[in-house]
A and B are shown apart, each in its own frame.
Chain A
Amino acid sequence: MSVIARWLGPVLLLSGAAFLLSDYHNDVYRKMLLWVALALGYNFLFGICGQVAFSHFAFYGIGAYSVVILLFQFHLPLPLAIVLGVVICVLVALAVAIPSTRLEGFYLALATLALAQLFVVVLNEGGALTGGTSGIANYRLPDIFGVRIRGPWFTAVIVLLVVGTYAVLWRLDRSWFGRACRAVRDNPEAAAAMGVNVARTKVIAFTLTSALAGIAGMVYAFVDNTVNPPIFGIDNAFLLLFMVIVGGAGRHAGAVIGAVLLFLLPFWLSPVVGHHHVLVFGVLVLAAILLQPRGLIGLFDFAKKPS
């Protein structure tokens, strides 16, 4: 009972906020929540398991596109489309992760960079299936049990997604698997000596977080009711990495802070630097790595107990 109460509080609080916001602010709020969900997943992969991958945002796109294509090109029912979408994400993730995690080093980073690049090409060249360069638009979320979910209620769905993602990752982080991930990050040889299957741990962490990104993507598909190639470009993959680094890699709170800050920063910066906020992000990341490798959350810890 207390477990349910612990998760119910944040859900009510976060979705309650949506009912107080205007339509425009609801839209901004939804996208911010989705970035938080992505950053939480990516933090598990990069911060806790220590793997650099650039495909997280591509999986977000794969999830979004597969659910839209399965629903509106193949006319499958929603639950089946969601399950198949997750299966697609898992299969692609396995195909990339199994070869690239066999070796020491940063082969996964390269393979996923190539995958992210290829994904956009496939979207552009996909013809009628993906809608080519203009993507797919003019669809809406099918009714669930005859109820049409929209407005702040849809925001509540996203809140459920974020809290659900957090609950899964929080639980995993505290399980033997989370410890195995941290061991693989800090010292693969020692982890292997203690009986952790390093390659398998990496593959599972990658596949799991990629599937979570795919699920977030499925929800995103109905935020703007349009999916098109420019949304899923390589720039956002970098942005996600930067969010986690600036916030503090390896800490859930860090991922949330980084995602919120880097998502909102362009709104405040645009009067000053126009569209060039990415330059500011680059400088922030460099400063974080050089001056405070534990990110903003590290600064916070430092301020809390000066020693």
Chain B
Amino acid sequence: MQDFLELAVGAAASGCVYGLLALAYLLMIRPTGIINFAVGEWAMVAAFGGFLLLSKLEWPYPLGMAAVLGFMLLVGWATERIAVRPLVARGAPLIAPILALLGMLVIFREIVSISFPPDPHPVPYAFGIGRLDFGLLGGSYQSFFIIGVTLLVFAATWLFFERTLAGRMFEAVALHRRAAALMGINLFRVTALSFAGGAGAAGLAGLLVSPNISAHYQMGVPLAIQGFTALVIGGVGRVEGALLGGLLLAFAEQLTVRYAPIPSGFAQGVPLLFLMVFLLVRPTGLLKARA
């Protein structure tokens, strides 16, 4: 039991990272139907932003974090402008922007791999290295920081969708694009905002996880897989589902590594297994979209 509680905080923190990545997918899939595989690459770009501003230039953490997130919003917006909008405007099939975004994925990764040497780059912890204990539960400062920030982001996103006019606009577009356009909603603005938001969420995930795994130009693909698996587990319909899916996936992974007698590398097989099982048994995910 002690052993499990020791694991719990760390697993919850990784689950929050997966949840943020799932949220990034969700923000883009809901209004546009586009799966953007470059989510992992966005996380990678933000991690390198963290390395540049926080490790190399030694900016104070809040300032560096704000700058990276601001930059990511811009990256998301620019990605939509380059690879999505011309195709949607032309009425190309849905697969076209998805493939164009795959091209962008490679471009992001190659630009980073050209600009930085191939070894892992350290990114600092938000509050340094240290340990916090609440009775039986204990974990590193960074774990609690990740959990706190993620809960804040999810609360804000939930409020945005449920309580603000702009959020209702997103929902309207998700329910019926044509009808929403006829009601005077600017589809392009919604798409641009969803990509900016997606890049912001993915970037945040990358920045939060990078102190633990270091910024590396190949870190994107595993994160993209884990994030999408979390989304499939939780269901595409609801914001809370993303977080729930992320937490479930992370606990399954960590418990496998801890208790199953297999090499730790095989933990990377857990997302695939989850994906298969959920697609077979419960393809709508755990939480259904509200009618």
In the assembled complex, the Cα of A290 lies from the Cα of B97 at a distance in Å of 9
Contact A117 B222 (CB under 8 A): yes
Contact B224 A113 (CB under 8 A): yes
Interface centre among A103, A113, A245 (most CB of B within 10 A): A113
Residues from chain B with a CB closer than 8 A to the CB of A16 are: none
* Contacts A121-B265, A289-B87 given; does A114 touch B272 at CB 8 Å: yes
Residue of A nearest to B108 (CB): A282
CB distance from B86 to the nearest CB of A (A): 6
In the assembled complex, the Cα of A10 lies from the Cα of B269 at a distance in Å of 43
Residues from chain A with a CB closer than 8 A to the CB of B275 are: 99-100, 107, 110-111, 114
Partner of B102, one of A103, A114, A122, A238: A238
Q: How large is the interface on B (under 10, 10 to 19, 20 to 34, 35 or more residues)?
A: 35 or more
CB distance from A16 to the nearest CB of B (A): 37
Residues from chain B with a CB closer than 8 A to the CB of A99 are: 275-277, 279-280
Asked if B96 is at the interface (CB within 8 A of a chain A CB), the reply is: yes
* Contacts A111-B276, A290-B86 given; does A121 touch B106 at CB 8 Å: no
Residues from chain B with a CB closer than 8 A to the CB of A285 are: 99-100, 102-103, 106
Partner of B232, one of A107, A122, A242: A107
Asked if A118 is at the interface (CB within 8 A of a chain B CB), the reply is: yes
Partner of A282, one of B35, B96, B98, B106: B106
What sequence of 0s and 1s flags, for each residue 84-105 of chain B, a beta carbon within 8 Å of any chain A beta carbon? Answer: 0011000010011011101111
Partner of A289, one of B99, B228, B269, B271: B99
Contact B272 A286 (CB under 8 A): no
In the assembled complex, the Cα of A102 lies from the Cα of B98 at a distance in Å of 20
Residue of B nearest to A105 (CB): B35
Q: How large is the interface on A (under 10, 10 to 19, 20 to 34, 35 or more residues)?
A: 35 or more
Contact A289 B106 (CB under 8 A): no
Asked if B83 is at the interface (CB within 8 A of a chain A CB), the reply is: yes
Contact A102 B95 (CB under 8 A): no
Partner of A111, one of B105, B268, B279: B279
Residues from chain A with a CB closer than 8 A to the CB of B232 are: 107, 110
CB distance from A190 to the nearest CB of B (A): 14
Kindly identify, within residues 101 to 137 of chain A, every residue whose CB is under 8 Å from any CB belonging to chain B: 102-103, 105-107, 109-111, 113-115, 117-118, 121-122, 124-125
* Contacts A50-B95, A110-B225 given; does A96 touch B276 at CB 8 Å: yes
Cβ contacts A to B, 14 pairs, < 8 Å: A107-B279, A111-B276, A121-B266, A125-B266, A276-B114, A279-B106, A279-B107, A279-B111, A279-B114, A282-B107, A283-B103, A289-B99, A290-B83, A293-B92
**Which A residues are closer than 8 A to B by beta carbons?**
50, 52, 95-96, 98-100, 102-103, 105-107, 109-111, 113-115, 117-118, 121-122, 124-125, 234, 238, 241-242, 245, 276, 278-279, 281-283, 285-286, 289-290, 293
Query: Closest 9 CB pairs between A and B?
Result: A282-B106, A279-B110, A285-B103, A286-B103, A114-B272, A282-B107, A99-B279, A125-B265, A125-B263
